[in-house]
A and B are shown apart, each in its own frame.
Chain A
Amino acid sequence: MNLRTVHIKFIFIFFLIVWICGILSPAFLPPYFTKLFPGFFLDKLYSLVCHQDPAKSFFIFGNKLEVCARCSGIYAGGFIFSLVPLFLPRFRPQRRVWLFLSMIPMAADVLLYSSGFYLYSKWIAFATGLILGSVSILYIFAGIEDYFIELKLSSNVQ
Chain B
Amino acid sequence: MSNKIYLPPLVAGFGAAVLTTIPGVREFGCCLIVPLAVFTALLLYRKTLNHDTNLTVKTSLLIGFLTGLFAALFSTFFDVLITLFTHSNDFVATLPQTEQLLNSFNLGEAAKQTIDLMEGMANQITSTGFSLLYTIFILVSNLIVDSIFGLLGGIIGRMIVNRKSPTA
Contact = CB atoms under 8 A, between A and B. Distances in A.
Contacts of A37: 113-114, 117
A40 B114 contact: yes
Interface residues of B, number: 39
A139 B160 CA distance: 10
Contacts of B166: 92-94, 96, 139, 142-143, 146
A19 B102 CA distance: 25
A92 B168 CA distance: 13
Interface string A139-154: 1101110110010000
A131 interface: no
B28 interface: yes
A130 interface: no
B7 interface: no
Contacts of B117: 37
A146 B152 CA distance: 14
Contact of A36 (B60, B61, B114, B137): B114
Given A37-B114, A49-B31, A94-B166, A147 B156 contact: no
A64 interface: no
Q: Helix, strand, loop or mixed for chain B's interface? A: helix
A147 B114 contact: no
B101 A35 contact: yes
Interface stretch (B40-48, B80-88, B124-132, B142-150): B142-150
Contacts of B146: 48
A36 B107 CA distance: 10
Chain A contact residues, majority secondary structure: helix
A142 B141 contact: no
Nearest to B154: A143
Interface residues of A, number: 38
B165 interface: yes
Interface of A: 30-32, 35-37, 40-41, 44-45, 48-51, 53, 67-68, 70-71, 74, 92-96, 99-100, 110, 114, 136, 139-140, 142-144, 146-147, 150
Given A51-B27, A144-B155, 17 more contacts: A31-B101, A32-B102, A45-B145, A48-B142, A67-B31, A70-B30, A92-B167, A93-B166, A96-B159, A96-B160, A99-B159, A136-B156, A139-B155, A140-B156, A143-B60, A146-B158, A147-B58
5 contacts: A35-B114, A36-B102, A36-B114, A71-B31, A140-B152
Interface of B: 20, 26-28, 30-31, 56-58, 60-61, 98, 101-102, 105, 107, 110-111, 113-114, 117-118, 137-138, 141-142, 144-146, 149, 152, 155-156, 158-160, 165-167
